[in-house]
Amino acid sequence: PPMDPIDGGGSEKFRIFQKDNFEADWLKVGERTFGRVYKVKLKLWREVCAIKGFCTSMPQTSSSRGVIEKVSKMRKLKFKYIVTVYGACTDPPAVVMEYMSSGSLEGLLNSHELMWPKKFQMIHEVAMGMNFLHSMSPPHLHLNLKPANVLLDDHLHVKISDFGFIKWEDFSSSKEFIEHLTARGNLSYIPPETFTESSDPPGTKFDVYSFAIVIWEILTQKKAFPGANMMTVLMKVSSGKRPSVEKIPDDKPKESEAMMNIMQRCWLQKPCDRPPFTDIVRETEALSEVLKIPDVLQDVYRPHKAFATVFTLKEPRIKMNPDSGGEVSQKTFDFLLKKDFRN
């Protein structure tokens, strides 16, 4: 019997979408060298999704079979801290996934100053997502972990995206692999061993190194190696240089020493010296627990739609007004929601 185009049959329902399964207006949310991301609405589910086009020059994704194969592997991975993949589109070749309303961590780090508890929570949530991917057998390598691939939901919780697009096997040489990564502007997240001449295929410790750079970028809200040319970065990193811990703001809580210690172990020169995510999550869990916003405060703020904002932004801190029973006026929240604290 012919296959239902929406339900591919089999136990693991895999969906193949066509262009006309979506409403006509496609809103572009991101554009890069390697394809575009649109916000679209699925007619059948009445739900918005994100559709990300494959770049057809990428190995394996030039054929619809290649696209389906790649996406079907991603679709099997389901977890709180990773973006849900709904299915594939073969014309145009694309992956259809959950739409993340608050954009990427890269954007948030630029636009808002984050409170320490939120920074710690985000680091822990990224570690949780990565630990899940690595817990597959064989481990599912991301190879493209960076703040642009850490997406945020309505409540500013983290989900990792774009896992499984880049596979070492798709490239004929390590030179080609590096070229592909650097063309995406990912140089800062690539561990030094990748640059050595007879480098082994990347393993889980590749992602652990990228995670260390992500920690640094969350703690400092800066870009690692800004504006430096490729050769300089490559030589610095190969000789053991890393982004400066001095850049981490001085108002840090004492727990950040432990967080910086995790970060520094994660970017050690030798891959085998870096800890696995199974260890990392335990440490980040303990640290984010210590810095958690006290429950009393959470109870006061949770009913407000701006709760996520209050929990996130550092300045100005909201003081509870004892006269109003701990309520913060709607005006204050509206003000906070609109304000961009970087300017």
- Nearest-angstrom CA–CA distance, 272 and 316: 43
Q: Does 83 bind ligand ATP (CB under 6 A)?
A: yes
Q: How many CA atoms lie within 13 A of 292 on its CB side?
A: 11
Element (H, E) at 283: helix 277-290
Shortest CB 310 distance to ligand ATP, Å: 23
Instruction: State yes or no: residue 97 binds ligand ATP (CB under 6 A).
Output: yes
Residue 89 in contact with ligand ATP, rule: CB under 6 A = no
The answer to whether residue 82 forms part of the interface with ligand ATP (CB under 6 A) is: no
Contact 277, 204 (CB under 8 A): yes
Judged by CB under 6 A, the residue of 66, 103, 203, 275 near ligand ATP is 103
- Spatial separation of the C-alpha atoms in residues 174 and 216, rounded to whole Å: 27
The reply on whether position 181 binds ligand ATP by CB under 6 A is: no
Within positions 271 to 310, which residues make up the interface with ligand ATP, using CB under 6 A? none
Q: If binding is defined by CB under 6 A, does position 50 make contact with ligand ATP?
A: yes
Peptide bond just before 92 cis, omega within 30 deg? yes
Instruction: Determine the size of the site formed for ligand ATP (CB under 6 A).
Output: 24
Length of the chain: 343
Count Cβ atoms below 10 Å from residue 117 Cβ, excluding itself: 18
Per CB under 6 A, 184 contacts ligand ATP? yes
Residue 51 interacting entry, from ligand ATP, Mg ion, none, C-beta within 5 to 8 Å by type: none
Q: Which stretch binds Mg ion (CB under 5 A): 81-89, 159-167, 175-183, 318-326?
A: 159-167
**Residue nearest to Mg ion according to CB distances in the complex:** 162
Beta strands in the chain (DSSP E): 15-17, 27-32, 35-42, 47-53, 85-90, 93-98, 150-152, 158-160
CB 288 within 8 A of CB 259: no
Token pair recorded at residue 52 = 């990300």
149 touching ligand ATP, by CB under 6 A: yes
If the CB atoms of residues 149 and 204 are measured against ligand ATP, the closer one turns out to be 149
Query: Any contact of residue 34 with ligand ATP (CB under 6 A)?
Result: yes
CB of residue 272 to ligand ATP, shortest distance in Å: 27
Task: Indicate the residue among 80 and 270 with the shorter CB distance to ligand ATP.
Answer: 80
Q: Is the CB of residue 144 less than 8 Å from the CB of residue 97?
A: no
Q: Contacts with Mg ion in 160-219 (CB under 5 A)? A: 162
Between 4 and 179, CB nearer to ligand ATP: 179
Work out the angle between the directed axes of helices 277-290 and 204-220 (0-180°, nearest 10). 20
The pairing of strands 85-90 and 15-17 is parallel
Per partner kind, with CB cut-offs from 5 to 8 A, the member of Mg ion, ligand ATP, none near residue 37 is ligand ATP
> In terms of DSSP H, where are the helices of 143-203?
174-183
Q: Is 149 in the site for Mg ion (CB under 5 A)?
A: yes
Of 337, 45, 343, 312, give the one whose Cα is nearest residue 152: 312
Q: Judged by CB under 5 A, how many residues of this single chain contact Mg ion? A: 2
Q: Which residues bind Mg ion (CB under 5 A)?
A: 149, 162
Q: Which residues bind ligand ATP (CB under 6 A)?
A: 29-30, 32, 34-35, 37, 50, 52, 83, 97-100, 103-104, 106-107, 144, 148-149, 151, 161-162, 184
